[in-house]
Amino acid sequence: MNNQPADARMLSGIRVLDFTQYLAGPTVTRFMVELGAEVIKVEQAPGGDPSRMLPFVRDGRSAYFVQQNRGKQSLCVDLSNAEAAELLRALAAKVDVVVENYGPGVLEKRGLAYADLSKQKPALIMASISAFGRTGPLAGKVGFDLMAQAFSGLSHMTGDPQGPPQFVHMGIADVSSGVHAFGAIAAALFHRQRTGRGQWIDVAMVDALYHCHELNVQAYANSGGAYVPLRGGSQHPATGPYGIYRGPQGWIALLVLDRQWPAMAEALGQPGLVSDPRFETGPLRGRNRAELTRIVESWMQTFPDDAAVLAALERHRVPAAPVLSVAETVGHPHFEARQMIRRVPDRILGEVTIPGFPLKFSEFPQLPELHAPLLGEHNAAVLRELLAFDETRIADLAARGVLHAAPS
């Protein structure tokens, strides 16, 4: 029977103990809090989540932290203190989900691993995110997003053919692993609803990126090594036109497969290219991509601006898009219409612009107004509500350094 109020969000009533920092773990709980979960963010004294000092920072407040941690309650403790660990174990018995992305062994040393917490609450769901996962030869190895990009093969596939491997200048492994963990937690909650049993979810950033190899791994392995994935730089080496091309003003992305090739040839004003022996198939176009690039870019230069090129491609239903800078995305009408440019209030920074929530639910078209916490802001409220601590005990914990809070 559903006892939730009519306006409750999808995860209303789910309580989360959040041992996360930086990006991968906070991505999970950011999704959960947007959907109505109660999230208690455990921060390590004295500075809390290191992302509190990542740019943009003004007046000691980080817009990065605000973006990832709106709506969460901050409980700041000295994790090296045995009394703090005991307090956290007690809190874990009061929640539905625990999420953590500390280095391997950090929570284990404090008796806060899944093996410890599930003994007191078998229905507990716990998700652990790490660079290399909790099994395998590299299970104990620490790492960040960059290590995952390197080890997964992503860096090897990124960059110019004759240059060094490169990396994506976004937290792609962090965010990808966080979103994977979010989906896994949702499935585990459904499983618990049916069976009453909790479970431990092990998510590796490397795995999340390796899973994105839609072509390279299977093609190499199943061809016996005949197909060798190579860096292609700004253009795909195996077919074309597939890549980034110079337009009259900037750069334009094109992806033309065999099915779109006749339409592309029509757009170029050269329908005969379809039967040209150099370009009849995708592999042939890949082998002759230098000449194909010359043809495409020469055609693009006949237009007054990039918009005219894109309009011509659109008329022929050829998949294309301008290469936008970050500055061009902020305020773009499409992102505005999709609510992907989000302006949120913050008590210190004022209005903060952040990327919007990427999931759109017909039952919940409006997103909640959430505020990022000050360090240790909810120490007393959390301990009072969940553990029935009185003010004297809370004050004693603060005086002895078990609890910590930013100066008011």
Catalytic residues, which ones? Answer: 174
Nearest-angstrom CA–CA distance, 19 and 59: 26
Report the chain's terminal Cα–Cα distance, integer Å.
Answer: 43
- Contact between residue 130 and residue 108 where contact means Cβ atoms under 8 Å apart: no
Name residue 17's beta-bridge partners: 40, 98
Residues in contact with 16: Cβ distance below 8 Å, sequence separation at least 6, in sequence order:
29, 32, 33, 37, 38, 39, 40, 95, 96, 97, 98, 99
Q: What is the DSSP letter of 368?
A: P
- Contact between residue 64 and residue 74 where contact means Cβ atoms under 8 Å apart: no
Nearest-angstrom CA–CA distance, 121 and 104: 22
- 């991968």: which residue's tokens? 24
Kindly report the length of the chain: 408
Does residue 161 have a cis peptide bond before it, meaning omega lies within 30 degrees of 0? no
- 């999709």: which residue's tokens? 338
Q: Angle 296-300-302 (CA atoms, 0-180°, nearest 5)?
A: 125
- Contact between residue 181 and residue 187 where contact means Cβ atoms under 8 Å apart: no
- Contact between residue 84 and residue 405 where contact means Cβ atoms under 8 Å apart: no
Structure tokens at 198: 């909790």
Structure tokens at 231: 């860096």
Residues in contact with 267: Cβ distance below 8 Å, sequence separation at least 6, in sequence order:
312, 313, 315, 316, 318
Q: How far is CA 393 from CA 112, 228, 317, 396, 397, in A?
A: 23, 64, 68, 5, 6
